[in-house]
Copies of this chain bind each other. A is one copy, B any other.
Amino acid sequence: MAHRSRLAGFIIDCHNIPADEAAAFWSAALGYRAQPAYSEEGAEYADLAGAPAGLNVEVQRVEHASRVHLDIESDDIDAEASRLEALGARRIGFVKRWWVMEAPTGHRFCIVRMRDGQEGAEANHWD
């Protein structure tokens, strides 16, 4: 069945730094608006509002080393995971509501559910 996907945005994973503190730096650096940090199922996030093209940019407090990871959003995350596997990626695991993947280039990224009613770039259609 056909499905759609596109770049959702990127997450700035910050090793052992409170999300509010990380958001203070990155919002000022990028000229975005730091939103209040929130916790969900043991993780701590803060959105950075104002990125172009509806991109979702956020900071996350993590236990692993600091890095930036990309999110791809899709209206069928299982089909998208299969499509990306066929391109050489592998599934690391299903976490909460998303697939954690590893690209053949070694980068971890996530496949998340496509947000409804968001502006942004036109999604890619895959048959």
Residue positions of A touching B, CB distance < 8 A: 5-7, 10, 12, 14-15, 17, 22, 25-26, 28-31, 51-55, 59, 65-70, 72, 84, 87-89, 103-107, 120-121, 124
B30 touches A66 (CB 8 A): no
With beta carbons under 8 angstroms apart, the residue of B6, B15, B68, B103 that contacts A70 is B68
Number of copies of this kind of chain in the complex:
2
A65 and B106 within 8 A (CB): yes
B66 touches A26 (CB 8 A): no
Contact A66 B6 (CB under 8 A): no
Query: B residues within 8 A CB of A120?
Result: 52
* 13 A-B pairs whose Cβ atoms sit less than 8 Å apart in the complex: A6-B31, A10-B10, A12-B105, A25-B87, A25-B88, A25-B89, A29-B72, A51-B121, A52-B53, A53-B121, A66-B105, A66-B107, A68-B107
- Contact assessment for B55 and A87 in the assembled complex, using a CB-CB cutoff below 8 Å: no
**Do the beta carbons of A31 and B124 come within 8 Å of each other?**
yes
The reply to whether B29 and A103 contact each other, CB–CB distance below 8 Å, is yes
Q: Which of B10, B14, B54, B124 contacts A68 (CB 8 A)?
A: B10
